[in-house]
Amino acid sequence: MEANRTKRRSKPSPAGAERRKVKPLQKVRTHIQGLDEILEGGLPARRTALIVGASGTGKSVLGLEFLYRGALNGEPGIFIGFEESAEAIRKNAATLGWDLASLERKNKLFLMEARVSPDTVISGKFSLKGLLAIIDGKRKELRAKRIVIDAIEVLLRLFDDPGRMRSELHTLNDWLGEQGMTAILTVKPGRGASPSIYEEFLDSMADSVIALDQRVTNRVTTRSLRVVKCRGSSYGRNEYPFVITEDGIVVVPITTVGLMHKPFGKKVSTGNSRLDSILGGGYPRGSCVLFVGEQGTGKTLFVSIFVESVCSRGEKVLYVSFEESEEMMIHNLLSAGVDLRPARNSGRLEFITAYPESMGPEEHLIKMLNRIDAFHPDHVVVDAISACERMGGRQAAFDYLMRAINACKARGITILLTNQSRGRKDFTEISGNGISSLVDTVIRLEYVRLVGETNRILEVMKTRGSAHSTQKHEYVISDTGIDILDVYAGEGGLLTGTARLEQEVKEAIKARQREMEIKMKEREIKHLKAELETESARLREAVQTAELELAKLRLEQELEEQLQHIRKKIRGMNLNSIKDTLRKRNPERRRKGRKGATK
């Protein structure tokens, strides 16, 4: 307990703890594409690395490329081969474009044939010390920084005495540690269930161990690499596929892929104005677009219309085809009014055509990436991703597509994919390879089968970061391309083909009938208005007559009232008063009466 308390007291607090000074291990770059990324900088400098693998896994190529790339970068090296002659090594290297003879003349590389006769070893006359003395002389002459000892198991298997073999290995290990060179030993494991004596010793002797493997999956061969150990350094611990290309080894560190996608650029036209309108302006530049549909729905035609459009504007496209040859595809597209020959002839369109099963996914991927780096396309087409499973299975297809999409997005390249579905309506058929989350725009093409005919409809299922039409659209493929029709919905939903035409005729007839009914109603209203005017005139005349009659009656009533008034007065007056009254009321009549009497 006291010891524990003392231990706890002696432990520094986080606030007062001194930071440990970490000195990183010095490393030497292999200059092999992808390998330095896995080794996090390269192999430990001035230490020994062991490359283990069966025949055909690429041990010798890896070791030789380590020397070749180092010599090109100012680090001379020595290659010691116990299996092949120096001339054979030069010829094999020439197939990869490596001119070893030129480096040898410049004193940057030395190839040493170390093939030993079994009789010499058995007689006891052979010793590694003599060989190492020769190598040391060359090291001083070249000022070599790197050394590769290839197929050392050829020599070690000649030693019948395990003690002597261990002694020779100790001699080699001590010598490598004294010379200060970065060394690679290549060894082929034995065929037994347990490792041989020299294998166990080499594993413990080496500071780094890299295991190479070659396997066949679904009749497709794949090479892989795994760093077993690397003393004093961190490294990628997964298994990584690699290929031997025309330029050398390329390691594909799929599991180290980072998300470095660039943001979308401005939208680029699809080549079809109606589709541009449906997508809100076109495809986002730098995005991933997927066309999914059954065979014959026009997936290749849609992407080819886009290719023709962008190439006509001076942009470049790389077209990867797994189902048709270059010439056959160009010929077939002519029947739909799409001519890719001008784009190809101008150098703005390049093709990669190959059967998926012709090589593994890593080789397909590296072939595409190398062409992208050389051609610098603005857009890439992969037609069709449904064929990628033939590269070695579903996982192989996923690895290929994930890397391809990530590589294009990281470079700001628009990538268009086509996928042949089996006609199912569920979302598992969108990509079929588990890459739906990487796809930004999905356009589904499908058949609508009616009695006696089949039509095609288009639906945008998603387009990330952009508004788009949510309706289904019928489209027609003709000798002039693709014509996307307006949305037409009837009582039973979206109508296409003959049903659409029939419904259009019915509605046209209804429209004409309605138009005729409107005209008849307008005439009826006009007639009623005329009758109304006539009746109004008659009524106005009757009103006027009635008004005149009313005026007459009122006048007669007034006269009657006056007469009655006069009668009342007459009853209360004598005759003379009446005469006087009459005279006052009508003096003119009196004067006229006098004149008449005189006459």
* Whether residue 235 is found in the same domain as residue 320: no
- Alpha-carbon gap, residue 26 to 41, rounded angstroms: 9
Position 530 in a domain: no
Residue 424 has pLDDT above 80, yes or no: no
Let me know whether 95 and 239 are in one domain: yes
Q: Which residue has the tokens 């347990």?
A: 194
- Tell whether 47 and 183 lie within a shared domain: yes
Whether 129 is covered by a domain: the verdict is yes
Q: What is the C-alpha separation between 242 and 431, in angstroms, rounded?
A: 26
Paired residues of 222 in beta bridges:
215
Q: Is residue 290 in some structural domain? A: yes
pLDDT band at 517 (very low <50, low <70, confident <90, very high): confident
> Domain ends where: 252, 284, 299?
252
Question: CA–CA distance from 88 to each of 64, 93, 94, 149, 243 (Å)?
Answer: 13, 9, 10, 16, 22
The Cα 515–Cα 493 span in angstroms is 26
Range of the domain at 358: 267-482
Alpha helices by DSSP H, listed for 112-156, are 118-123, 128-142, 152-156
Domain shared by 460 and 360, yes or no: yes
Phi, psi of 585 (to 5 degrees): -80, -25
pLDDT of residue 350: 96
Q: Which two tokens stand for residue 570?
A: 């007459």
Q: What end-to-end distance do the CA atoms of the chain give, in Å? A: 177
471 Cβ contact partners less than 8 Å away, ≥ 6 residues apart: 459, 487
Q: How far is CA 598 from CA 150, 590, 591, 592, in A?
A: 179, 13, 11, 10
**190 and 88 in a common domain:** yes
DSSP letter assigned to residue 433:
S
Let me know if 517 is exposed, middle or buried by CB neighbors in 10 A (0-12, 13-18, 19+).
Answer: exposed
Residue 329 sits in a domain whose CATH number is 3.40.50.300
Instruction: Identify the H or E element spanning 289.
Output: strand 288-293
Supply the pLDDT for residue 69.
Answer: 96
Q: How far apart are CA 465 and CA 443, in angstroms?
A: 15
pLDDT at 518 over 60: yes
Give the model's confidence band at 358: pLDDT under 50 very low, under 70 low, under 90 confident, else very high.
Answer: confident
Residue 364 and residue 457 in one domain:
yes
pLDDT at 45 over 90: yes
* Residue 103 lies inside a defined structural domain of this protein: yes
User: Which of 3-17, 223-237, 480-494 tops mean pLDDT?
Assistant: 223-237
Quick one: 307 and 219 in the same domain?
no
Cβ atoms of residues 219 and 207 within 8 Å: no
**DSSP H helices in 35-113:** 35-38, 59-72, 86-94, 100-105
Q: What's the predicted TM-score (pTM) here? A: 0.69
Element (H, E) at 173: helix 162-179
Which helix or strand (DSSP H or E) is residue 233 part of? Answer: none
More confident residue, 381 or 392: 381
Contact call for residues 353 and 365 (beta carbons, < 8 A): no
Q: Is the pLDDT score of 17 beyond 70?
A: no
Task: Give the contacts of 565 (CB within 8 A, at least 6 positions apart).
Answer: none
Number of domains into which the chain is organized: 2
pLDDT band at 1 (very low <50, low <70, confident <90, very high): very low
What is the structure's pLDDT at 490? 59
pLDDT mean over 180-200? 80
The CA radius of gyration of the chain, in Å to the nearest whole number, is 51
Catalytic residue selected from 40, 323, 350, 459: 323
Beta-strand ranges (E) seen in 486-599 are 489-490, 493-494
Q: Last residue of a domain, which of 200, 226, 252?
A: 252
| CB count in 10 Å sphere of residue 248 | 21
Instruction: Examine residue 543 and state whether it is found in any structural domain, yes or no.
Output: no
Look up tokens 């062991």; give the residue.
Answer: 50
pLDDT of 562: 85
**Residue ranges in 376-468 assigned as alpha helix (H):** 394-410
Contact 382, 348 (CB under 8 A): no
Q: Is 186:150 a contact under the CB 8 Å cutoff?
A: yes
501-510 confidence digits (pLDDT tens): 677 777 778 8
Domain assignment present for residue 392? The answer is yes
pLDDT category at 7 given cuts 50, 70, 90 is very low
Q: Is the dihedral of CA 517, 521, 523, 524 positive or negative?
A: positive
Task: Note whether 290 and 419 are same-domain residues.
Answer: yes
374 touches 366 (CB < 8 A): no
Enumerate long-range contacts of 71-75, CB under 8 Å, 24 or more apart. Answer: 71/103, 71/108, 71/109, 72/31, 72/103, 73/29, 73/31, 75/28, 75/145, 75/146
pLDDT value of residue 126:
62
Q: Which segment, 74-88, 166-180, 211-225, 238-252, is predicted with the most confidence on average?
A: 74-88
For range 348-368, the mean pLDDT = 90
Active site residue 18: no
HSE (side-chain half, CA atoms, 13 Å) at 361:
27
**Is there a domain that residue 40 lies in?**
yes
CB distance 98 to 68 below 8 Å: yes
Residues 224 and 366 in one domain: no
**Same domain, yes or no: 181 and 158:** yes
CB of 420 closer than 8 Å to CB of 297: no
CB 378, CB 317: distance < 8 Å: yes
Length of the chain: 599
Is residue 111 located within the same domain as residue 208?
yes
Q: What is the DSSP letter of 33?
A: B
Last residue of a domain, one of 413, 447, 482: 482
83 is catalytic: yes
Q: What does the alpha-carbon distance between residue 70 and residue 139 come to, in Å, rounded to a whole number?
A: 15
Q: Catalytic one among 75, 83, 362, 429?
A: 83
Residue 229 and residue 280 share a domain: no
> Does residue 161 lie in a domain region?
yes
